[in-house]
Amino acid sequence: MQVGHASVVGEDNIICAQAGLAGSSILEKNVLLAGQVGVSGHLTIHDNAIVYAQSGIGHDVAAGARVSGSPAFAANVWLRAITAFSKLPSS
């Protein structure tokens, strides 16, 4: 794990391999960052949030949110989007 300048990591967090936090990021309590998550600086990931693997966080994440993708957005919407990709017509 790489932690940038003045980042704050709260209680009972899980930060998996190759996650990176830019300076002044705040992880509140019970946050899960899966592998290869990148968090840009000067933002907050609030209590009980889950960030799935290989996600890019460029904005605050609300308490209890589940996000995925890069840029990250709601995980349930992300799952629907990746399912649709294979159904798109070829160019």
- Find the catalytic residue in 5, 42, 46, 59: 5
* CA–CA gap between residue 34 and residue 23 (Å, rounded): 19
Cα angle 52-4-9, degrees, rounded to a multiple of 5:
60
Tokens 């609030």 belong to residue: 46
The answer to whether residues 29 and 13 touch, using CB atoms and an 8 Å cutoff, is yes
Token code pair at residue 6: 């003045």
- To the query of whether residue 59 is one of the catalytic residues in this protein, the response is no
Query: How many residues are listed for the chain in this entry?
Result: 91
Question: Which amino acids are annotated catalytic?
Answer: 5
